[in-house]
Amino acid sequence: MKLLRVTLRVRDQQDSLRFYTEQLGFVKRADYPYGEGQRWITVSPPDEDAVQIVLQPPEWFTGARREQHLQYVGHNPTLVFQVEDCNATYEQFQRRGVRFTLPPSEHAYGIEADATDSDGNTLVFLQLMNAKNG
Tens of pLDDT, residue by residue over 40-95, are 999 999 998 889 999 999 999 999 999 999 999 999 999 999 999 999 999 999 99
Residues 52 and 85 both lie in one domain: no
Together in a domain, 49 and 92: no
Model pLDDT, residue 50: 87
- The per-residue pLDDT for range 83-106, each reduced to its tens digit, is 999 999 999 999 999 999 999 999
In a domain, 67, yes or no: no
- 85 closest CA partner among 112, 65, 60, 109: 112
In a domain, 73, yes or no: no
Whole-Å CA distances, 120 to 49, 83, 89, 113, 116: 24, 21, 19, 15, 5
Q: Is the pLDDT of residue 134 over 90?
A: no
Q: What is the pTM of this model?
A: 0.91
84 and 55 share one domain: no
Domain range holding 35?
A: 5-59
The CA distance from 110 to 67, in Å, is: 38
**DSSP sequence for 20-46:** IIIIS--EEEEEEE-STT-EEEEEE-T
Residue 32 included in any domain? yes
**Is pLDDT at 131 greater than 70 in this prediction?**
no
Contact 52, 44 (CB under 8 A): yes
Beta strands 122-128 and 79-82, pairing class: parallel
Q: How many independent structural domains does the chain possess? A: 2
